[in-house]
Amino acid sequence: MSARRLRRRVTNVVMLGLTGVATVLSVSILFFLLGFLIYKGGSSLNFAFFTELPKPVGEAGGGMANAIAGSAKLLLLAALTGLPVGFLAGLYLSEFASKPMASAVRYAADLLNGVPSIVIGIFVYTLVVLRMGHFSALAGGLALGVMMIPIMTRSTEEFLRAVPGSLRDASLALGASRVTTIARVVVPAASRGILTAAMLGLARVAGETAPLLFTALGNRFWSPGVAQPTASLPVMIFTYATGPYDEWHRQAWAAGLVLLAFVLVANAGARLLLGRRVRLPG
Amino acid sequence: MAPRFKKRRGVLVSDRSAGVVAFAFGACVLALTGLLAYQLWANSAASRTKFGWAFLLTGSWDPVAGDFGAAPFIYGTLVTSAIALLVAVPLGIGVSIFLAELAPPALSDGAGLLLELLAAVPSVVYGLVGVSVLVPLMRTWIEPGLRMLAPGVPLFRGPDLGVGFLTAGLVLAVMVIPFIVSMGREVLLAVPREQREAALALGSTRWESVWRVVVPYARPGLYGAIFLALGRALGETMAVTMVIGNRPEIAASLFAPGYSMAAVIANEFTEATGDLYLSALVEIGLVLFVLTMIINAAARLLIVATSRKASAA
HEC per residue, chain B: CCCCCCCCCCCCHHHHHHHHHHHHHHHHHHHHHHHHHHHHHHHCHHHHHHHHHHHHCCCCEECCCCEECCHHHHHHHHHHHHHHHHHHHHHHHHHHHHHHHHCCHHHHHHHHHHHHHHHHCCHHHHHHHHHHHHHHHHHHHHHHHHHHHCCCCHHHCCCCCCCCHHHHHHHHHHHHHHHHHHHHHHHHHCCCHHHHHHHHHCCCCHHHHHHHHHHHHCHHHHHHHHHHHHHHHHHCCHHHHHHCECCCCCCCCCCCCECCHHHHHHHHCCCCCCHHHHHHHHHHHHHHHHHHHHHHHHHHHHHHHHHHHHHHC
* B114 and B22, same domain (yes or no): no
* B37 and B88, same domain (yes or no): no
What contacts B258, CB < 8 A, 6 or more positions away?
B72, B75, B76, B79, B80, B164, B165, B168, B244, B245, B247, B249, B250, B251
* B279 and B240, same domain (yes or no): yes
Decide if B60 touches A, using CB distance below 8 A: no
Helix ranges (DSSP H) in A162-245: 165-173, 178-181, 187-206, 233-242
Tell whether the model's pLDDT for residue B182 goes beyond 50.
yes
- pLDDT tens digits along B205-245: 999 999 999 999 999 889 999 999 999 999 999 999 999 99
Decide if A204 touches B, using CB distance below 8 A: yes
Residue A202 located in a structural domain:
yes
Decide if A261 touches B, using CB distance below 8 A: no
Tell whether the model's pLDDT for residue B278 goes beyond 80.
yes
Asked if A150 and B268 touch (Cβ cutoff 8 Å), the reply is no
Contact A23 B29 (CB under 8 A): no
* B106 and B146, same domain (yes or no): yes
Tell whether the model's pLDDT for residue A9 goes beyond 90.
yes
Residue A109 located in a structural domain:
yes
Contact B123 A91 (CB under 8 A): no
Residue A141 located in a structural domain:
yes
* B102 and B37, same domain (yes or no): no
Residue A250 located in a structural domain:
no
- pLDDT tens digits along B44-89: 999 999 999 999 999 889 998 889 999 999 999 999 999 999 999 9
* B106 and B27, same domain (yes or no): no
* B19 and B90, same domain (yes or no): no
Tell whether the model's pLDDT for residue A82 goes beyond 70.
yes
| Candidates B17, B33, B289, partner chain A, best to mutate (most A CBs within 10 A) | B33
* B24 and B131, same domain (yes or no): no
Residue B256 located in a structural domain:
yes
Residue A247: Cβ within 10 Å count: 17
Residue A26 located in a structural domain:
no
* B23 and B111, same domain (yes or no): no
The domain that holds B168 is classified in CATH as 1.10.3720.10
Residue A243 located in a structural domain:
no
Q: How many domains does chain A have?
A: 1
* B124 and B21, same domain (yes or no): no
ipTM over 0.90: yes
Residue B257 located in a structural domain:
yes
Asked if A83 and A149 touch (Cβ cutoff 8 Å), the reply is no
CA distance A217 to chain B (A): 9
- State the average pLDDT over residues B97-122: 93
Contact B121 A260 (CB under 8 A): yes
Helix ranges (DSSP H) in chain A: 3-42, 47-51, 65-91, 99-114, 117-124, 130-132, 137-161, 165-173, 178-181, 187-206, 233-242, 246-273
Residue A254 located in a structural domain:
no
Of A119, A262, A256, the C-alpha closest to B124 is A256
Q: How many domains does chain B have?
A: 2
Q: Which of A104, A217, A242 sits opposite B30 (nearest CB)?
A: A104
The domain that holds A210 is classified in CATH as 1.10.3720.10
User: Is the CA virtual torsion A225, A231, A235, A239 positive or negative?
Assistant: positive
Asked which of A125-134, A150-159, A221-230, B3-12 is least confident by mean pLDDT, the reply is B3-12
* B17 and B104, same domain (yes or no): no
Residue B6 located in a structural domain:
no
Residues pairing with B67 in the sheet = B62
Phi and psi of B61, rounded to 5°? -135, 85
Residue A258 located in a structural domain:
no
Range of the domain at A141: 69-232
Residue B86 located in a structural domain:
yes
* B72 and B28, same domain (yes or no): no
Amino acid at A133: G
CA distance A52 to chain B (A): 22
Read off the DSSP letter of residue A212.
Answer: G
Tell whether the model's pLDDT for residue A224 goes beyond 50.
yes
**pLDDT the model gives residue B148:** 87
Residue B5 located in a structural domain:
no
Range of the domain at B35: 13-43
